[in-house]
Amino acid sequence: MYERKKLAEIQDSLKQWEETTLQKTSAALPERRTTFVTTSSEPIQRLYTPLDVSELDYLRDLGHPGEYPFTRGIHATLHRSRLWTMRMFAGFGTAEETNARFKYLLDQGQTGLSIAFDLPTLMGYDTDAPEALGEFGKCGVAVSSLKDMEILLEGIPLDKVSTSMTINSPASILWAMYIAAAEKQGVRPKQLRGTIQNDILKEFIAQKEYIFPPEPSMRLVVDTMEYGAKHVPQWNTISISGYHIREAGATAAQELAFTLADGMEYVRWGIARGMDVDEFAPRLSFFFNAHNDFFEEIAKYRAARRIWAREMRETFGARNPRSWLLRFHTQTAGVSLTAQQPEINVVRVAIQALAAVLGGTQSLHTNSLDEALALPSEQAVTIALRTQQIIAEESGVTNTVDPLGGSFFVEAQTDRIERQAYDYFRRIEALGGVIPAIEKGFFQSEIADAAYRYQREIDSGERKIVGVNAYVEDKPVTIPILEMDPHGYDRHIARLNEVRRTRDNARVGQALDRLRIACQGTENTMPYILDAVRAYATLGEMIGVMKEAFGVYEEPTWI
């Protein structure tokens, strides 16, 4: 270790040299910027030394991967012993079309499923509802009843493949459909592995796909936590998502802080239900964005692990070391992809994916090059999957664990993001907690300000986006675009009508009545949702019952 006095002398010398060099550079190259910032507009020094890290003896205290507080990773061997799950997000049109895409991806080497649902499904509508008109299958697959889920998963061994479902307000219903479809395959709930996103706080903050007010929405989340701990023990009942917060325009520090604040709020609600923290915390997982700034993203993941481990052990008193582990899925930044020169999105995705891998992700989705134009074509999604496979098999980055650990720059950025996160925690607490902060528009305002600042930097030319405001080409787009079955909507509606005609409607009515009573009371709703699903009640029918009991949320207007 350097002595602090000697380091200070070196740093002063470097500062004087840098000032002289910058003056010369500015004179010789006036068009080249002399200040540098991250994607989050945080200033970056030219050089980092141990003095830029919080603790001078940080190399001694940094520890090893697999050791508390897990800055260097939650596993001692990480990708040396097991690669991350390659889980490509997929869904479009009908259940049949998406099922075919799932099978194609599994044949190409994908190791886990990730289901994208269309907007009517995300908002709890049946496909033939007036509110769903024109939105069938456009951003994911349409699932209106258990029958659709059965077809979606047909021929897929659910006892061997883990599945992630990006669904929030209706998460308990879609999860129940998955459980019931697995039962029909002969797979017991205890054998199932996967994740439902089920992160309703993030919906109020950023994505806005909420249905019910915050309190009953949180009750449904805790119902799944409680039910999963007892009956589906290998399932992650929440994937606490920073991805959509970042896509809405947040900075890296905001993404981290708001996501972890949400996670701690779910822990509080689980404890308030009467559950022991170690009963459910090991099955909490996270979902982060991988944006363009390579080192900032890696630092974000490192800070996330450290903060979560500390808070779970010291604030919430978790005794099981598995409760301290922040396990996360990563998706590359959809918002960073451009419709202009879409072929070069392959490069953006590769850089982002590499940051996720070096940051220690356990699961990864790589976006396709055409996603600024349409849902991914088969060719584009194959390239996206191959990007992960090249990183895994050819780059060498999986040969050692945390190769960037100890970098003065990476550790300084980790410390900086951690400090900013705790500053946000204090501000949220001062507002009364997460839900009061949502109701006061705090998160929404912070994200909007960051998004405006970022866009202003692009518009002014201060921030360069290749193909958009730098190295622009005036050429037509020639890549192939996905074409969906033009008769898919009619086929889906015909199946939905057949379900309604052939099911035992008396049984459906009774199941919906019992669900209504459960929602109006205090019982766990999951058993009643499962009964309704097994009777082939539709998504819209179940959500309708819940709306009667819980009401519908309307976001306040802030001026």
What CATH number corresponds to the domain at position 388? 3.20.20.240
Inter-residue contact 387 to 88 (CB < 8 Å): no
Let me know the angle formed at the C-alpha of 191 by 185 and 193, rounded to the nearest 5 degrees: 100
Q: Is residue 106 part of a domain?
A: yes
Q: In this predicted structure, what is the pLDDT of residue 195?
A: 97
Residue 538 lies in a domain: no
Helix (H) or strand (E) holding 332: strand 328-332
Q: How far apart are CA 309 and CA 319, in angstroms?
A: 11
Instruction: List average pLDDT for each run of 10 residues in the chain, which is 559 residues long.
Output: 57 62 51 73 88 61 90 95 94 96 96 96 98 95 98 97 97 98 97 97 96 98 97 97 97 98 98 97 97 97 97 98 98 97 97 98 97 95 97 96 94 95 98 97 96 96 95 91 93 97 98 98 98 98 98 83
Q: What is the longest distance spanned by two Cα atoms in the chain? A: 84
Position 49 scores a pLDDT of 83
Beta bridge partners of 365: 331
C-beta separation of 301 from 71 below 8 A: no
**Three-class SS string for 42-93?**
CECCCCCCHHHCCCCCHHHHCCCCCCCCCCCCCCCCHHHCCCCEEEEEECCE
The candidate with the shortest Cα–Cα distance to 443, out of 416, 423, 424, is: 424
Nearest to 496 by CA among 151, 175, 211, 173: 151
Whether residue 377 is contained in a domain is answered as yes
Tally of structural domains, the chain: 1
Count of beta carbons in the 10 Å neighbourhood of residue 467: 16
pLDDT at 64: 92
Tokens of 392: 């895994």
Residues 304, 256: contact at Cβ < 8 Å?
Answer: yes
Full-model pTM: 0.92
**C-alpha–C-alpha distance, residues 20 and 94, integer Å:** 64
Residue 500 domain-assigned?
Answer: no
Residues 6+ apart with CB under 8 A from 129: 120, 540
pLDDT at 56: 46
SS3 195: strand
Token pair of 50 as six digits:
């141990």
**If you compute the radius of gyration of the chain from its CA atoms, what whole number of angstroms results?**
24
* pLDDT for the residue numbered 30: 47
Nearest to 174 by CA among 161, 163, 165, 185: 165
**CA of 335: how far to CAs of 291, 315, 331, 533, in Å?**
9, 35, 11, 35
Which ranges of 377-431 would DSSP assign to H, the alpha helix? 378-394, 408-430
* Angstrom distance (rounded) from CA 169 to CA 34: 47
Residue 118 in any domain: the answer is yes
Residue 45 lies in a domain: no
Identify residue 221 by its one-letter amino acid code. V
Question: How far is residue 84's CA from residue 82's CA, in Å, rounded to a whole number?
Answer: 7
Q: Return the closest-CA partner of residue 206 out of 386, 420, 445.
A: 445
Which residue matches tokens 């603790």? Answer: 55
The dihedral of CA 124, 128, 132, 137: what is its sign? Answer: positive
Give, in order, the Cα–Cα distances in Å from 322 to each of 21, 261, 285, 396, 504.
Answer: 50, 19, 11, 29, 44
Calculate the CA 95 to chain-centre distance.
23
C-alpha to C-alpha distance for 241 and 7, rounded to whole angstroms: 40
299 secondary structure, DSSP code: H
d(CA 13, CA 151) in angstroms, rounded, equals 68
Phi, psi dihedral angles at 74 (to 5 degrees):
-90, -10
Contacts of 389 (CB under 8 A, 6+ apart): 86, 109
Place of tokens 């399932």: 235
Domain that includes residue 181, residue range: 61-460
Q: Could you tell me if residue 175 is inside a domain?
A: yes
Q: Where are the alpha helices (DSSP H) in 74-160?
A: 95-107, 119-122, 146-152
